[in-house]
Amino acid sequence: MRSHPEAIAQASYGRAGPGPNNLPSGVTVATACRNIIVCTSASGGLGLSVTAASIARHLAERDLPSALIDVDFRTGGLDVLLGIEGEPGTRCETLDAPLGRLDGNALNHELPEWDGVRVLASNPWSGDPPDWWQTQAAIRALSDVNRALIVDAGRGELLETMPELGSAAQIVLAELSVLGLARAKRHIATLQRWMALHEPLPAKRAASHSHSRDQLIVVGIQPRSTVRNSGVISLPDAAEYLGHPVSGRIRTDSKLCADVLSGLGIRALSRSNRRAIDGICDWIDELLSGAGGDHS
């Protein structure tokens, strides 16, 4: 997996080799962030960005100041999805961290805001993606000044080479279909290996499997265009196949899809989907309480 060309290309962004050996002069690497929540899925089209944004908004509603960053540099467009593309502010393509450091409060105030959430979006059509140390600097800066940092990481290519993401808590979206669960099972196994790789303490690494289970939550996604739930795998059957509990189910919401496609952003969630997001936020709240620290 470490030699997979797609992972290396994503990590280097086509401009510099991945990893600390390619740090510019004066850049240091630290991996102490414990309030980062990474959202990934094994395949596209599952509503990952909508889910990540909804989680950040619900945390803000609970008086847990949160920021949202899009590091899926192949697709991007999180600000467009949220309907704030016209708002001025920093985007990933305009980050400037020549020494690998950014001031968190300054960056927070430079970002556009969506429903109480600071958003660092990626617009790959408007410029080159940032170097990896600039992305790392933004992640560290935002985690320093927000109670939680929600990361929309696409399929998770950056997790292998960026310790802040590889050792973070993980939310995995899994489509509740035969093919979707097969993809999710492989994706989860890959994430667990990366989490073990980046776990900094040897004592914890020895217990990496239980650690990764505690730090990873799977959310079921109902397949689109199903007729009377034909072909939809139940949550207990999905959990048995994955070998991991599945927390809640996010259902297809035609009104929400229409709002997003019309450029209106995420206006409201259905009652059942809000319950699912609330369950995820309960899990995050518990993680944050255990992590300690005070962010404002």
| Single pTM value for the model | 0.83
Q: What pLDDT, on the 0 to 100 scale, is given for residue 28?
A: 39
Q: What pLDDT, on the 0 to 100 scale, is given for residue 227?
A: 60
Nearest to 171 by CA among 119, 221, 108, 110: 221
Q: What pLDDT, on the 0 to 100 scale, is given for residue 26?
A: 38
Topology of 35-290 in CATH? Answer: Rossmann fold (3.40.50)
Tokens representing 84 are 């704030």
Q: What pLDDT, on the 0 to 100 scale, is given for residue 289?
A: 87
CA-only gyration radius of the chain, Å:
18
Q: Report the C-alpha gap between 22 and 24 in whole angstroms.
A: 6
Q: Report the C-alpha gap between 103 and 97 in whole angstroms.
A: 10
The sign of the CA dihedral 261, 264, 270, 275 is positive
Q: What pLDDT, on the 0 to 100 scale, is given for residue 112?
A: 96
Per-residue pLDDT in tens (0 to 9) along the chain, 296 residues: 333 333 333 333 333 334 443 433 333 334 446 899 999 999 888 899 999 999 999 999 999 999 999 999 989 999 999 999 999 999 999 999 878 899 999 999 999 999 999 999 999 999 999 998 999 999 999 999 999 999 999 999 888 888 889 989 999 999 999 999 999 999 999 999 888 887 765 544 444 444 455 899 999 999 987 666 778 999 999 999 999 999 889 987 777 777 777 777 787 888 889 999 999 999 999 999 876 544 44
Q: What pLDDT, on the 0 to 100 scale, is given for residue 15?
A: 32
Q: What pLDDT, on the 0 to 100 scale, is given for residue 169?
A: 94
Q: What pLDDT, on the 0 to 100 scale, is given for residue 201?
A: 55
> CB–CB of 83/112 below 8 Å?
no
